[in-house]
Amino acid sequence: MDVNGEKPDRRSLKQAARELQESYKAAFHERGGDLHVTAGWASDTGTRTKSLELYAGVEWEASRVYDHVHADVHRRRWFSRRWEAVRPLEAAFREIEDSLNEWQREHS
C-alpha cells in the first residue's frame, strides 16, 4: 500500500499506543514492571530508512531487565518523500499486544 508521498496518519497510531498503555499498565505494575507504549519516528542507519512505528518497552524492577518490541507501520527512504505501508495498524497493534501478553506470562 502506498500513501502517495504523504505523511501517514500519526493520530491513529498515537491513539493505538494510548489504548495499549491504558490496557496493560496496571497489569505490568502488579508484576513489578514499568510499561511504556509510544508511537514515534525511528531511523535505521543500516537500511537508510525512516519509519513510523508502535513501540513498547517494559523495565522489570526485580531483574532490571528491559524488554522491548517495535512494529513499523510506514517506512520511507531517508531522502524520499514517498511513504509506503509496511503493515496495517491493526497488525502492528496485534504484534505489540502479543508481545505484552507473552511478557506477562513470563513474569507471572
> Domain ranges in the chain?
10-106
pLDDT confidence tier of residue 3, bands split at 50, 70 and 90: very low
Share of the chain above pLDDT 70, in %: 93
4-40: per-residue pLDDT in tens? Answer: 445 568 889 999 999 999 999 999 999 999 999 999 9
C-alpha torsion sign, points 79, 56, 10, 53: positive
Helices 89-106, 10-30: inter-axial angle, 10-degree rounding: 10
Q: How far is CA 83 from CA 27, 37, 40, 96, in A?
A: 36, 23, 15, 22
Q: What is the pLDDT of residue 7?
A: 57
For the residues 86-95, what does the mean pLDDT come to? 93
